[in-house]
Structure 1
Amino acid sequence: MLPRVLEEEVMDTPEEARDYDAMDHKAVNTLFVDDFLHHWDGRSPVLDVGTGTAQIPIELARRCPQVRIVAVDLAQQMLLLADRNVAQAQLQECIRLERIDAKKMPYAENTFAAVMSNSIIHHLPQPERGFAEMHRVCQRGGLLFVRDLLRPSSWAALQELVDLYAGGANAHQRAMFAASLHAALTVEEVRDCVKQLGYSPETVQQTSDRHWTWVAYKQHL
């Protein structure tokens, strides 16, 4: 198995934010929202952890105008672009942006009706802290919907994914994607994290050739 190699926790340069925002995430984001809606009961507020440039909250708010979303990230440069994107979409009433560390969020327990997150876990040196915080701030009975990249089994497999999904990207974007894959967790590593919180390992499944997804409801203390 390819060993995990950490990348920077916070992508906070103008170049990183700009190149990330410019990458074609439409298919991935649309599928994420499709799958979230399949499990979500429609209650707000929804917390989006590691929102980046707010592309997923914008997609969700366009499809569900009644939703209220708190979208958080630690990278100031990402949030600057997120603020621009939310304003251009005219969704300021639906989406509130906040600069927050996913490992120690300031919200009280049981605050959010649903918690969603896409591609933040692989940035965390101690991913179990991110899972624990998302569990803590979710309301009892609320949805926990977390998706992230899956670490490939070999360097050759990693390169194949980069060629397949970032073949038309620039060199920096390709390097960012490769680093993210290398920093990602395996399904078993994610299962170990959620098991510590009392969830069944089976709530974590591989859902594409490069993603795992955790879907659970907070039914316990």
Structure 2
Amino acid sequence: MQRQPEPELMDAAEQAAAYASADFSAPHQFLVDQISRLLPVLPVAARVLDLGCGPADVSLRFARAFPGWQIDGVDGAEAMLKLGRAQVAAAGLAARVRLHRALLPNDPLPGAGYQVILSNSLLHHLHRPQVLWQAVRAAAAPGVAVYVTDLRRPADEGSLRRLVDTYSGPEPAVLRRDFEASLRAAFTPQEVHAQLGLAGLQELAVRELTDRHLAVFGYLR
């Protein structure tokens, strides 16, 4: 299946509200739980950058799992960030989770020298995937732990249809439509390997996590 890029920003109010209200607890918590298996050495206290944080559900899950982490979440979609800030406030974690609007690569990141860099479901939105890998390199402290998760593109239309039917279920039509578009826009593990080689990030590994997710992880010198 050939890749079909989708819009880089999900800034429509309808999309943002649908994502914020949807129940992604099982897949999001699974991805959060995997970090300790894939990266067994993680700092107890750390400055953390979450690229493409959206409405902050994953950021908040990491904050609860690692109470010593101070997390800067970054997203280009103000509609997502507005909902995310409300979620952060409701969770009582505004002192440790701060959300910033930045559209990569044009806007500056909120800082540098991060000990942990996270990203979930940003890569497939990017028309130029090197934007993500360049941001990782620019924001990293020596020895940074990197954990990037995303969808992976199915091999054919039949596989795509099975994934959409299996995981969209009773979700609103906008989520079903966006899930299909995201699967079409996602990269294969082989394509991500090539991206890392081009970025000089060969220390990072790529692994298939589920029938629809992949992870990029490792430590950078």
* Bin for the TM-score computed over the shorter chain: over 0.9
- 8 Å contact 1:135–1:144 — kept in the other structure? no
Write the distance in 2 (CA, Å) between the matches of 1:83 and 1:108. 16
Counterpart contact for 2:112–2:138, Cα < 8 Å? yes
2:183 maps to: 181
* Equivalent residues of 2:11, 2:79 under 8 A apart: yes
Please state if 1:106 is matched with 2:105. no
Identity %: 33
Determine if contact 2:144/2:220 at 8 Å carries over to the other structure.
yes
Q: Runs of 5+ in structure 2 lacking a partner?
A: none
Specify the SS of the correspondent of 1:205: strand
Name 2:119's counterpart in structure 1: 117
What letter is aligned with 2:5?
A: L
Partner of 1:161: 163
- Among 164, 184, 206, which residue is 2:208 paired with? 206
Aligned equivalent of 1:7: 6
Structure 1 moving runs of 4+ over 6 Å? none
Task: Structure 1: give runs of 5+ residues left out of the alignment.
Answer: none
- Matched positions, count: 218
In angstroms, what is the RMSD of aligned CA positions? 1.7
Q: For residues 108-127 of structure 1, what are the alpha-carbon distances to aligned partners after superposition, in whole Å with 9 as ceiling and x for unaligned?
A: 98521110000000000001
TM-score (norm 2): 0.93
Contact 1:113 1:143 (8 Å CA) reproduced: yes
Tell me which moved more, 101-110 or 116-125: 101-110
Write out per-residue CA displacement over residues 64-103 of structure 1, whole angstroms, 9 at most, x where no aligned residue: 2221000010000000000000011010001011001233
What is the letter of the counterpart of residue 126 of structure 1? R
CA displacement at 1:177 relative to structure 2: 0.5
Alpha-carbon distance in structure 2 between the residues aligned to 1:88 and 1:202: 35
What TM-score results when the alignment is normalised by the length of structure 1?
0.93
Q: Work out the CA distance in 1 between the residues paired with 2:32 and 2:51.
A: 14
Of residues 119, 129, 154 in structure 2, which corresponds to 1:152?
154
Taking the aligned partners of 2:146 and 2:156, their CA distance within structure 1 comes to: 30
- Residues 37-186 of structure 1 mapped to structure 2, 5 A cutoff: 37-38=36-37, 39=39, 40-104=42-106, 106-107=108-109, 111-186=113-188
Report how far residue 168 of structure 1 moved: 1.6
Matched with 2:35 is 36
Q: Could you tell me whether the CA contact under 8 Å between 1:108 and 1:137 is conserved in 2?
A: no
